Structure 1
């Protein structure tokens, strides 16, 4: 990957030379296509998010981004010694994480900031097929944690099992290239969720039960609208950094990515051999864990 090799081959001297900052920040043809697709995603998501009836098209992805938000609350709660009771997902109301203990001034902003950070990381991975494969395995781990915390919520089970199947399907399409655009879409969606949810809860209208309102009551200093703008600015910075990391780190062409993907966790049936045992083991482990958890609940 270009992330590991920040050099380029000089055809005149036949030597490896360090890439200049300008060349590393200048998008390649493949990266320009990725940026155009990301821009189209923003436009499409913006339309589908707010138009009645059409918003049902992205309903599962809205639930997934709500899951990122609530999972971020839960993980920060675990890091601050809180006990997580449950997670509920609702694309309209934003979901809810029930916990006791922890440090509220850390767990409350973790939802929006975590969504922005996760979205930025997925956007960066969306520039490279192999990185998208790694991201999908991380998402699988996220699904397992979320299912544990939301094990009594049937809607969450249906969503995440369906999303797992979609990821596996896209893994097989065009050697994993389709997976790259799916990961990019989820990343853009997560970042856009922060934008619209903050605007809806703190700027357009004040929701007393929102994270920003609760944070303002605990920390004071600023009203909830100001805290919402601060979190929105940080999330926007994450979004820009995600794009920049993707541009700097992954300079391979589409053909190079396709060739690399054959040997990095390849889909069964391709020419690549390295990673097939790991892929099959990972998918088998994911299925067995989800099946065992489901049997336990039943």
Structure 2
């Protein structure tokens, strides 16, 4: 049987406990939040600066006449992501993809049968936005960028299979694959990281600017949003704005996740990349 504690002793212990909580609580809480806080180091700050520069450059090139053709290869690649979103959701909802084709003037088109159009119609914009957010997230780290480029390769193979009769799509994807492979060997993958980041930012913002072009500025009536509005109600502008907001939200989530997960310096990233398919050793063997 445990000995009884006198009331005076219990009162003293309670006072000491309250005093320790009052004096030590704020310190422990501040340490807890400090440890879990979303801080930005030098490497992450550089990456954020590059993202802002990408947004400004893409916005200018997207809207300036003649100069906009500089973005044409990357725009075709992002359109391929858009069509891949339609295609993969059609397959996942019981549909069948007959072909994918890209057009430099009209954009892209996915010919498919069946599937749930409530999912497949918005999957073009939202799918490319999700891919963009994931690529932006991976663009904070070299090893993650290497993994992302491998996953992109698999997606490209599927797109090539569906677009095997369209030469523009084939050339666009092969050029993109060539750039990805070539950038693996520059600065131990550092260049690959910034390329993945660029494609991610552009893919995330593609739906925003494309919807503005089609529905707000030029009021084109043959977009995914207009078809969705005819089938399920609402206006094409409302659906377009909603999808644009979701795209921006996904991009912000990708950036915040990158800041939270990848805190390694440039030097540490290069060292880590040498343990994942090291390009220096590959060049030495050649």
Shorter-chain TM-score category? Answer: 0.7 to 0.9
Any idea what the Cα deviations from partners look like across 1:27-71, whole Å, max 9, x if unmatched?
A: 111000000001101111111112222222221100000000000
Q: Select which of 191, 208, 221 maps to 1:195.
A: 208
Shift of 1:151: 0.5
Match of 2:275 in 1: 263
Match of 2:257 in 1: 245
Q: Select which of 35, 47, 63 maps to 2:60.
A: 47
Shift of 1:206: 2.6
Structure that is richer in helix per residue: 2
Bigger CA radius of gyration? 2
Shift of 1:269: 2.5
Asked whether the 8 Å contact 1:123–1:187 carries over to 2, the reply is yes
Match of 1:27 in 2: 40
Aligned mates of 2:33, 2:268 — CA distance in 1: 21
Match of 2:18 in 1: none
Aligned mates of 1:43, 1:92 — CA distance in 2: 23
Match of 1:223 in 2: 235
Asked whether the 8 Å contact 2:188–2:280 carries over to 1, the reply is no
Question: How many equivalent pairs are there?
Answer: 256
Judged with a 3 Å threshold, the aligned counterparts in structure 2 of structure 1 residues 260 and 95 are, in CA distance, closer, same or farther, namely same
Structure 1 runs not aligned, ≥5 long: 1-17, 281-298
Matches within 5 A, 1:7-86: 20=33, 24-86=37-99
Any idea what the Cα deviations from partners look like across 1:196-245, whole Å, max 9, x if unmatched?
A: 1111122223322110000001101x111001111111111101001001
Aligned mates of 1:19, 1:164 — CA distance in 2: 44
Task: Give runs of ≥4 in structure 1 deviating > 6 Å.
Answer: none
SS in 2 for 1:25: coil
Aligned mates of 2:67, 2:34 — CA distance in 1: 43
Shift of 1:192: 1.7
Structure 2 runs not aligned, ≥5 long: 1-30
Match of 1:127 in 2: 140
Aligned mates of 1:121, 1:240 — CA distance in 2: 11
TM-score by length of 2: 0.85
Shift of 1:91: 4.2
Match of 2:20 in 1: none
Judged with a 3 Å threshold, the aligned counterparts in structure 2 of structure 1 residues 201 and 173 are, in CA distance, closer, same or farther, namely same
Match of 1:108 in 2: 121
Asked whether the 8 Å contact 2:205–2:247 carries over to 1, the reply is no
Aligned mates of 1:271, 1:214 — CA distance in 2: 51
Asked whether the 8 Å contact 1:203–1:228 carries over to 2, the reply is no
SS in 2 for 1:27: coil
